[in-house]
Structure 1
Amino acid sequence: MSANFTLDALDKFILNALQTNARTSYAELARAQNVSAATIHVRIEKLRQAGVITGTHVHVDARKLGYQVCCFIGINLARAGDYPRTLARLEALPEVVEAHYTTGQYSIFIKVLVQSIEQLQDLLINKIQSIDEIQATETLISLQQPILRNAPVV
């Protein structure tokens, strides 16, 4: 978001409504705020141009697609300069659905989805731990995800 861009009450309403249901029509948003659909359209375009809205997404239940194991892997690199090459190798793995460059105990923290513990073992041994720049890993298996939400709009 640019330094000069600020959210007003209408912007916040739009963001909250779209995070709840991205398929909400401009007309429905407009009726709820007693403004025109054109006003909503203009506001959403301004939010896009400012980089506040970066896309529209469909949330998929990974378990329904057969991904029974979700885990997080903390990765320690041999050297900080190994980050770009390691990230490129991790990005090539479809099982890696998130990656974060972090401070603290790990250099990189990734989220992985696989269909079974056997697939996790194969991923760790044959794909992740075989990356030369990776010094060590620690795997944490998620037992459940009781909270999943977007960033609050305040």
Structure 2
Amino acid sequence: MDDGELDSVDRRILYHLQRDARRTSSSEIAEKLDVSPSTVRTRLNRLEDGGIVRGYHVDIDYERAGYPLYTKIVCTAPVTERDELAERAQEIDGVTAVREVMTGERNVYVNAIGESHDDLFRIASELDELGLDVVNEQLVRSEYVCPYHGFGTVDDFDTVEE
């Protein structure tokens, strides 16, 4: 499946999966879209095989899990080494996500968690040892993930009664 081949049914399936993939069945999506559950399953298999749906990820409250500190670390990497360094950064204990940025000097963003400030210092030090220049560290209070509304339609959104 190439980019841009998504029709309105595909987009609406993606919207509902983003809202809560774990607790949303093909039958529930089919009912909301007025199509058969087998249509949803076929489309979903195609979206997975085409690499559009890359996986199903759990949303963890790290603070409740015993990791009260959550930080975003902004780094600079030489462009020719950015891919390799981003890959290696994922192996550091406490790193939960790495994002490569295509423009600007600040081109690698690392999310990390820890139990203490010492944990965060260790992570930043290990990033530095890899060859990433740590430019900024931001201690995050909360982060919220929401579905991309462009995949839904007006009918898909919960209405607010006044």
TM-score for the superposition, normalised by structure 2: 0.77
User: Identity percentage over the alignment?
Assistant: 21
Letter of the 2:26 counterpart: Y
How many angstroms does 1:46 deviate by?
2.0
State the partner residue of 1:141: 139
- Give unpaired runs (5+ residues) of structure 2: 152-162
- Give unpaired runs (5+ residues) of structure 1: none
SS at match of 1:94: coil
State the partner residue of 1:34: 34
For the Cα contact (< 8 Å) 1:30–1:36, is it kept in 2?
A: yes
How many angstroms does 1:54 deviate by?
1.6
State the partner residue of 2:147: 150
How many angstroms does 1:65 deviate by?
1.0
TM-score for the superposition, normalised by structure 1: 0.80
State the partner residue of 1:118: 118
Question: Could you say if the C-alpha distance between residues 149 and 137 of structure 1 is closer, same or farther in structure 2, counting changes exceeding 3 Å?
Answer: same
Letter of the 2:93 counterpart: P
- Paired residues, what number? 149
How many angstroms does 1:35 deviate by?
2.5
Question: Counterparts of 1:49 and 1:91 in 2: how far apart (Å)?
Answer: 25
Question: Counterparts of 2:38 and 2:123 in 1: how far apart (Å)?
Answer: 49
SS at match of 1:27: helix
Question: Could you say if the C-alpha distance between residues 34 and 140 of structure 1 is closer, same or farther in structure 2, counting changes exceeding 3 Å?
Answer: closer
Q: Within 5 Å, give how 1:55-74 maps onto structure 2.
A: 55-74=55-74
Q: Within 5 Å, give how 1:10-25 maps onto structure 2.
A: 10-22=9-21, 23-25=23-25
Is 1:92 matched with 2:91? yes
